Amino acid sequence: MLVPDIPIALPVAVCVIIVYTIGTLVYNVFFHPLHKYPGPFWWRACRLPWVMALAKGNLIVRVSEIHNEYGSVVRVAPDELAFIEADAWKDVYGHRTNEFTKSRRMYNISDKMIPKSILNEPKDEHAMIRRGLAHGFSEKSMREQEPLFKAYGDMLMDQMKELRLDAVTGEAKPVDMMSMYNFFTFDVIGTLSFGESFDCLSTAEYHPWIKTIFASLRDVAWVFGARYMGLDWLVDMTLKYGQENRKRNTEWAEAKIQKRIAVASERPDFLEGLLKKNEAGMLDWPRLRQTASVIVAAGSETTATLLSGVTYLLCMNPHAMEKLRNEVRSTFNSEDEITFTSVNSLMYMMACLNEALRMYPPIPGSLPRRSPKGGAMVAGHWVPENTDVAVWQWALCHNSSLWEAPLEYHPERFLGDERFARDRRECLKPFSVGPRDCIGKNLAYAEMRLILARIMFNFELSIAEESRNWMDQRVFVLWEKPALNVYLKPVR
Ligand code: HEM
Ligand SMILES: *[C@@H]1O[C@H](CO)[C@@H](O)[C@H](O)[C@H]1NC(C)=O
Ligand SMILES: *[C@@H]1O[C@H](CO)[C@@H](O)[C@H](O)[C@H]1NC(C)=O
């Protein structure tokens, strides 16, 4: 008797769900603390449009369009604001007494299944890891690491020379520079983080460890989507599905690290500092391993993305390519002269890289932060507590009130050209800012300049027909980069 009839329970349940849903939508639009912030109706009412755009791979473009229509501060989900204002960088990401924290939904995907790392440790633990790594990223270490960059750079040049001709017919054929850059950056960072490379360059193939990272990118977008919809069971299910791969990668990392320890002797790599924290009992093994893995992913794909982007943009802008080539070839008489120190003098190259970072930022979306207890001011706007806030890199870099001709590639805008006098260059923060900014920024610049200089010194580049629209890509957290086919002609 106490058990209700199914035929009655069902409609009641349906009604409750409908009333609850409508109630939530009405609350979000009219009564939510963020109700005064502008944005498209359905985006303010529920999270669904945001998640759907994420899953389709066009969220960054949609957010950019929303800014276009509603202004520089917009509500892109019931509890989330997006900013395209220069001051928002320091207010959201910078040092302050009541700091914003990394949004749990994005950074703590699963406390159960994935160990913490430098990316999502709370403030104090994060600072401890960062201090441990400081030496590995110092000027001194970078100088000690230079021979390694030279050696892998040599291998890259050799592979490019070999692959540019068909092995059978001897005819010129395009080389996929996207893969080449990935091979190079993964081998370098693998060596610095695990003590051994992935042998990508020597085999001209992706290591299974890397394949898993790339294969899982779209899953990652889905996991985020589910997470944001509050469907934690779906998140857990998806993560379980990828468990085998993760286990294999963990074992691989473990074996490499053990091998590196067995070699003993101090080395100027990233592991050194982490191992010291481990010995001091401050960093347990799973978090050490996870941090090493995070550095590999954060330091390789990003750098390879920018190198691919700048290569494409230079090919499509022959005038800029010509200027850069002249700069490199008039600065160096031989390839040996190209070093970490000597590339510092290449001003036009620096502008080429920065302009590529603007047009094709390796981390193009948002780095969501959560507002502190009691709320906070961001770029002159009041943000109540428990709000996700982010600066959207791509949207910010493609807005014509902030940049002259934002869709065009003009390194000159970073060199004091009159035409770009009103450009808001302080908006460009592709490495983020504050206590959790990119620890590898200097290394990335050094690496990119070194390789680009050597390529400019050795080759003439021209884009293959099939890659002419290469930058039309979707974003699943990171860019979904297709092959970048380029013809390479040796200079001498
Ligand atoms: C063009 C290349 C690169 C770009 C655009 C880039 C961008 C970024 C950005 C935007 C962040 C902040 C992430 C967040 O707030 O969640 C970050 C963090 C980080 N990056 Fe990079 N990065 C690049 C290269 C590198 C390199 C070469 C390394 C290492 C060798 C590296 C290691 C890291 C690490 C470890 C973090 C986390 C830092 C922390 O949480 O304290 N990155 N990077
Ligand atoms: C640029 O951003 C402003 C808000 O700061 C917005 O009003 C404008 O429409 C945007 N323009 C474009 C072309 O995106
Ligand atoms: C992640 O979750 C843990 C516990 O669930 C919490 O202590 C930590 O602050 C969270 N990290 C971030 C970055 O929000």
Distance between CA 387 and CA 389 in Å, rounded?
A: 6
Distance between CA 292 and CA 273 in Å, rounded?
A: 11
Among 472, 395, 356, 410, CA closest to 72:
395
67 lines ligand 2 (CB under 6 A): yes
Q: Which ligand is nearest to the CA of 116?
A: 3
110 lines ligand 3 (CB under 6 A): no
Distance between CA 429 and CA 87 in Å, rounded?
A: 11
71 lines ligand 2 (CB under 6 A): yes
Ligand 1 probe mutation, 103, 149, 302, 481, most atoms within 8 A of CB: 302
- Which residue, by CA, sits nearest to atom 14 of ligand 3? 104
State both tokens at 20: 């609850």
* Confidence check: pLDDT of 264 > 70: no
Pairing mode, strands 376-378 and 381-383: antiparallel
Q: What is the pLDDT of residues 156-166, one digit of tens each?
A: 999 999 999 99
pLDDT mean over 464-481: 95
What pLDDT, on the 0 to 100 scale, is given for residue 56? 93
Among 491, 476, 470, 488, CA closest to 308:
470
What pLDDT, on the 0 to 100 scale, is given for residue 406? 97
Distance between CA 67 and CA 362 in Å, rounded?
A: 21
What stretches of 324-384 adopt beta strand conformation (E)?
A: 369-370, 376-378, 381-383
State both tokens at 418: 């009159």
Q: How far is the CA of 102 from the centre of ligand 3 (A)?
A: 9
Counting beta carbons within 10 angstroms of the beta carbon of residue 378, is it exposed (0 to 12), middle (13 to 18) or buried (19 or more)? buried
107 lines ligand 3 (CB under 6 A): yes
Long-range contacts of 278-287 (CB under 8 A, 24+ apart): 282/128, 282/132, 283/128, 283/129, 283/132, 286/115, 287/115, 287/116, 287/117, 287/121
150 lines ligand 3 (CB under 6 A): no
Helices (H), 204-345: 208-215, 217-228, 232-241, 243-262, 270-279, 285-316, 318-331
State both tokens at 327: 């700069």
Q: What is the pLDDT of residues 30-62, one digit of tens each?
A: 999 999 999 999 999 999 999 999 999 999 999
Q: Is 438 annotated as a binding residue?
A: yes
What pLDDT, on the 0 to 100 scale, is given for residue 437? 97
What pLDDT, on the 0 to 100 scale, is given for residue 486? 98
Q: Which of 40-44, 245-249, 377-381 has the lowest mean pLDDT?
A: 245-249
Q: How far is the CA of 117 from the centre of ligand 1 (A)?
A: 13
Answer whether 43's CB lies under 8 Å from 209's CB.
no
Give the pLDDT band (50/70/90) at residue 4. low
Ligand 2 atom nearest to CA at 406: 13
What stretches of 66-168 adopt beta strand conformation (E)?
A: 73-77, 80-83, 101-102
Q: What is the pLDDT of residues 340-356, one digit of tens each?
A: 999 999 999 999 999 99
What pLDDT, on the 0 to 100 scale, is given for residue 333? 96
122 lines ligand 3 (CB under 6 A): yes
State the virtual CA torsion across 306, 60, 55, 433 in degrees, nearest 10.
60
Q: Which ligand is nearest to the CA of 305?
A: 1
362 lines ligand 1 (CB under 6 A): yes
Ligand 1 probe mutation, 90, 438, 475, 479, most atoms within 8 A of CB: 438
Q: Which of 43-57, 211-225, 316-330, 380-394 has the lowest mean pLDDT?
A: 211-225
Residue for token digits 């860019």? 479
**Count of CB atoms situated within 10 Å of the CB of 268:** 17
* Confidence check: pLDDT of 320 > 90: yes
Q: What is the torsional sign of CA 50, 51, 56, 59?
A: positive
Q: How far is the CA of 340 from the centre of ligand 1 (A)?
A: 20
pLDDT mean over 303-309: 98
**Count of CB atoms situated within 10 Å of the CB of 212:** 17
Give the pLDDT band (50/70/90) at residue 214. confident
What pLDDT, on the 0 to 100 scale, is given for residue 184? 97
* Confidence check: pLDDT of 429 > 70: yes
* Confidence check: pLDDT of 3 > 70: no
Q: Which of 98-102, 183-187, 238-242 has the lowest mean pLDDT?
A: 238-242
* Confidence check: pLDDT of 84 > 80: yes
Distance between CA 338 and CA 335 in Å, rounded?
A: 6
Q: What is the pLDDT of residues 134-146, one digit of tens each?
A: 999 999 999 999 9
Ligand 2 atom nearest to CA at 84: 5
363 lines ligand 1 (CB under 6 A): yes
Distance between CA 417 and CA 419 in Å, rounded?
A: 6
Give the pLDDT band (50/70/90) at residue 405. very high
Q: How far is the CA of 109 from the centre of ligand 3 (A)?
A: 10
Distance between CA 148 and CA 443 in Å, rounded?
A: 13
